[in-house]
Structure 1
Amino acid sequence: MPAGRAGSAGGLKDSGKIEVATETLTGMGSVTDNQQIASLPGGLAQRSVPFHRRYRAAGRFGSLVLGALTLAGCASMVAPKPKDPDALAEYEEANDRFEPLNRKMYNLSVWADKYSLRPVAKAYVWAVPRPVRSSLGNMIRTMNEPVVFFNDVGAGKPRRAGDSFARWCINMVAGVGGFVDVAKYVGYPHHDNDGGLTLATWGIASGPYLFLPMMGPSSIRDGVGYGIDQGLSPWNYVPRGYGLITFNWAYNIMGTINTRADHLDDLDQVQRDALDPYATIRSAYQQQRKALADSIKNDHRATVPDWYN
């Protein structure tokens, strides 16, 4: 079988559940919050909800455009369709027609992470106590809650939208700006949504799998969804001044380091134990995105919360 399609996660020794951030799996991921999907071979699970700030947006949008232009101009980077029926089935399941180029981008990201973000994350874990890191993660998640809310509205899920709005209000006030996830303890656990998932609930196909430098696993649909999220994030419309520019930079940098630090062991295990880390990440990403979209579509809870009745 072609490399990267068969045995995508078969080399993992530990069959337990692993929680990782999808973009962190790339070695160059940006700030994400955690979510577990545990239905993958070898127990690998991962997550993908980008956080949206104007400085990161510029670099990531540029990466997306550059990747699209590169794909359009490099016919040699398109994997040919196999004629063997079994191989063709694997090819279609992988949905990775740009695999030659995607693998190059993956290798570049892993190399960059090895000599940049990973050492910084290890030092961060050594210097910053876990409770402080957890509080920073809560704050980052709270700051992204408005984007989740708007996508819940776009997906036509008022109950989910109400939960997101309640979480933001509770954590911003009682949670001291989001550093403490109070909402979780009063019946409003976190859930994820983003522009790509909203488009998925509208029936829009994902398009081919893409691995973009500095962005990681994605697809045509998720790339478009990321652009939508930039427009939905209220923080991109905050006026300058009063130290907000400095806050934006600190928020982005610390969030990225904090997320990478949370998954040091997970990523090391993937690189060490998976027969094909690239294919493992691709499979995890695609299965997780499908599971997330299905969970949103199948959420038919009543609009009002249970306690109201």
Structure 2
Amino acid sequence: MIRQSRAALAACLLMGFMLAGCAAPPNGGRDELGVVEPWDPLENVNRVTFDANMWLNDNAIGPTAQAYRWAVPDYVQLRLRHGIANLGEPLVFGNDMAQARVKSAFTTFWRFVFNSTVGLAGLYDVATDLGLPRQTGDFGQTLYAWGMRESPYLVLPLFGPSTVRDGMGMGVEMWADPTGRVLNNANAGDANIAIGVVGGLDKARNLETLNELKKGTIDFYALLRSVWLQNRQATLDEAVGITSSNMPAIP
């Protein structure tokens, strides 16, 4: 059932890409200063999804995440965070290879080896202390490196800011995730779900940052779109070997 839902999500995102990719982006996506210009032909739909996400954040996800942080000691939260991040390293490695980022792939490979062994299944990030920092690498990046440079902005239910290209990449990764496939084949689908829930609750700690950004903002949707696109572009630039400055990140 989990695998079927992943395949359905990937198919829906692919269809969204085909439908939304008909128009041309303005000015190649950046202004004369290199700042990413929003290409948001789906703005009306995106704003509805954005409002629904904010309501869920305020009334369900936020309170649940606060309860998680209250009930689980900081030390345990950090161990779980590192462990879940380690499970994602094979995907990072695969995408770095697909982008011909050999050095990043090499770093990711040894990160996974050291953290999975010395770091006790990734609960301790010993690799960073050894000079092997975590690398970027996702399928949205890979599609960008393969030539799919411009893509409409898209707000995904629950997941938030994205683009059609990155949403499509997320769908592919959810379907192809090697860790998820191993757990499913081992009849450990419940563990797969638990990992996703804990990871989501951990990331929800960033809702406090969003609330700070929201204060005094007339159009929070437009502000978050701008901040996210600028930060995302810096990550995409890495896929093609460009070093670019990015705005303060939303962790």
Q: TM-score range by the shorter chain?
A: 0.7 to 0.9
Contact (CA 8 Å) 1:171, 1:178: kept in 2 or not?
yes
Q: Deviations over 1:65-95 (max 9, x none)?
A: 78x39x77xxxxx9xx9xxxxxxxxxx9221
Residues 3 and 175, structure 2, Cα contact 8 Å, conserved in 1: no
C-alpha contact (below 8 Å) 2:156/2:167 kept by paired residues: no
Match of 1:291 among 209, 234, 242: 234
Per-residue deviation, 1:115: 1.4
RMSD: 2.8
The TM-score, its normalising length taken from structure 2, stands at 0.80
For residues 215-254 of structure 1, what are the structure 2 equivalents within 5 Å? 215-238=159-182, 240=184, 244-254=188-198
Q: Percent identity?
A: 32
Distance in 1 (alpha carbons) for counterparts of 2:157 and 2:53? 6
* Equivalent-residue separation in structure 2 for 1:145 and 1:93 (angstroms): 31
- Shift of residue 151 of structure 1? 0.4
Structure 1 residues without counterparts, runs of 5 or longer: 1-52, 73-77, 82-91, 301-309
- Once the two structures are TM-superposed, the CA of residue 257 in structure 1 deviates from its matched residue by 0.7
Partner in structure 2 of residue 282 of structure 1? 225
1:189 and 2:143 correspond: no
Q: Displacement, 1:186?
A: 0.5
Cα distance in 2 for partners of 1:231, 1:242 equals: 16
Kindly provide the amino acid, as one letter, of the partner of residue 277 in structure 1: F
**Residue in 1 aligned with 2:70?**
126
What amino acid sits opposite 2:210 in the alignment? L
Could you give the per-residue CA deviations for residues 230-260 of structure 1, whole angstroms, max 9, x where no partner exists? 3542123216476622211211111111111
Q: Specify the alignment match of 2:117 in structure 1.
A: 173
Q: 1:266 aligns with which of 197, 209, 222?
A: 209
Tell me the equivalent position of 2:54. 110
Query: What is the Cα deviation at residue 225 of structure 1?
Result: 1.8
Aligned length: 228
Give the structure 2 partner of residue 3 of structure 1.
none
Which AA in structure 1 matches 2:212?
Answer: Q
Could you tell me which amino acid in structure 1 is paired with residue 76 of structure 2? V
Paired residues for 1:139-150 under 5 Å: 139-150=83-94
Instruction: Report the alpha carbon displacement of residue 156 of structure 1 after superposing the two structures with TM.
Output: 0.5
Cα displacement (A) at 1:125: 1.5
Cα distance, 1:287 vs. partner?
Answer: 1.0
Deviation digits for residues 40-77 of structure 1, max 9, x if unmatched?
A: xxxxxxxxxxxxx85884685477478x39x77xxxxx
Larger CA Rg, structure 1 vs 2:
1
Larger RCO, structures 1/2 (Cα 8 Å, 6+ apart): 1
Structure having the larger proportion of residues in helix:
2
Shift of 1:196: 0.8
- CA 1:135–1:93 in 2, change beyond 3 Å: closer, same or farther? same
